[in-house]
Amino acid sequence: MSAAPSLFLAAQLRAGVYGAWAGGHPGAPEVGVTVPVQTGAELESVLAQEMSAKVTFLVPTSLARSAPDVLCAATQARHEIAGTGQPEQISMLEAACAQSIQSWNTDGLSRASLRLLAAQSIHPLPFPLDTPQPGQTVRVLPGELEQRLPEMRALGYRPVPVRDIPGLRQAGPRDLLLHLYTHTVEANFAREHGVIDLAQRADAVMRVAALDHAPAPLPLPHSTPTAELHLHSPRIVGLAGRSALTAYRAYLRSLRDVAAAMQTLPELQDARAVFAVTLFHTQLEQGGFELLPLPPARARIYGLGFRVLRIVYGTARPPSEPQPKMAWMTREAFLAKYG
């Protein structure tokens, strides 16, 4: 297996150097699937599976000589061909597969190779994720396709070639900053507070943390176990970018995910109430939550935090209210409505 880029080179690619792709629309269900193949026989075997989705095959340029017919068959089946390995004889690869090469796997590439690709308007692929996320890519080995593609569909994702990701765009410095923020600030917060991610579905937007106390101003004894709701910020921003109604429906479906988790996860079995501190409390009030005002100092702190999130995730949609409030429901009421 080729070596991954160094940390500095990876940071450059995330910032769009060499024309690297960032991914696509963060609220779209499409996810780009890349499949590495090394030989014509391996590619032919994958094509024989009659897959339920089109994908991006990562192929070495040597296949242009050894298996041009198989490459052409992949194109005729409407799959995308992208390069992997050293970028040599690219024109021969394009001729063999009868399509323009737009993307390239960066594993093992030097800066000189990346400059060569950029000069030909070929973009480094986004770094693949371990699990599917809207508008991003995953890498699936040929032997895993039969299992992974149905799994993605079951979660509401639509596997597509990278070129077909809606809103596919070149990365920029802000993408690097967003990556650093999510992998430091948000990751540390989730780890320290035991946040449980319930956002496996393409349109799921909720996370939840089990607390061993009831923070003020909840009208409960301080020692009462509770569950605190947290939004998956980039997901809800992406869905809101499609439409406010899409985001609202996803929000309601995700509350049902929380209800299911409260009945199945040991960490949430003792929670006697569900609450969230949010600027979008009008929607929660419509969903049966009771609103509680926060102490002025806490409201200012939360308000500042929410402004930072809006800047980081680039949402232009204003919140429903200028001041955050706490929205809450008892466990019984929440499960009765969403369970």
pTM: 0.91
- Mean pLDDT across 173-178: 94
Q: Which two tokens stand for residue 150?
A: 């149905």
Task: List pLDDT tens digits, range 38-92.
Answer: 999 999 999 998 788 999 999 999 999 999 999 999 999 999 999 999 999 999 9
> Could you count the other beta carbons within 10 Å of the beta carbon of residue 87?
19
Residue 132 or residue 280, greater confidence? 132
Distances from the Cα of 263 to the Cαs of 24, 58, 166, 289, in angstroms?
35, 43, 36, 19
Instruction: Please tell me the distance from the alpha carbon of residue 61 to that of residue 101, in angstroms, as a whole number.
Output: 11
Distances from the Cα of 267 to the Cαs of 186, 195, 255, 263, 327, in angstroms?
21, 11, 17, 10, 21
Question: What was the pLDDT predicted at 321?
Answer: 59
Question: What was the pLDDT predicted at 212?
Answer: 97
Say yes or no to pLDDT of 318 above 70: no
Q: Place 317 in a pLDDT band, splitting at 50, 70 and 90.
A: low
Task: List pLDDT tens digits, range 124-164.
Answer: 999 999 999 999 999 999 999 999 999 999 999 999 999 99
Say yes or no to pLDDT of 3 above 80: no
Give me the helix-helix angle, 68-76 and 40-47, nearest 10°: 30
240 membership: H or E segment, kind and range: helix 233-242
Parallel/antiparallel/unpaired status of strands 273-278 and 103-104: unpaired
Residue type, 208: V
Residue 236 or residue 178, greater confidence? 178
Chain centroid to CA 305? 22
Say yes or no to pLDDT of 264 above 70: yes
The answer to whether the beta carbons of residues 339 and 259 sit under 8 Å apart is yes
Give Cβ neighbours of residue 204 (< 8 Å, ≥ 6 apart). 198, 232, 235, 250, 253, 254, 257
Say yes or no to pLDDT of 248 above 80: yes
The answer to whether the beta carbons of residues 107 and 13 sit under 8 Å apart is no
Delineate the domains of the chain, giving CATH numbers in brackets.
7-170 (3.20.20.370), 175-338 (no CATH)
Instruction: Please tell me the distance from the alpha carbon of residue 253 to that of residue 256, in angstroms, as a whole number.
Output: 5
Say yes or no to pLDDT of 1 above 60: no
Q: What is the pLDDT of the chain when averaged over all its residues? A: 93
Question: What was the pLDDT predicted at 315?
Answer: 65
The answer to whether the beta carbons of residues 285 and 291 sit under 8 Å apart is yes
Q: Place 237 in a pLDDT band, splitting at 50, 70 and 90.
A: confident
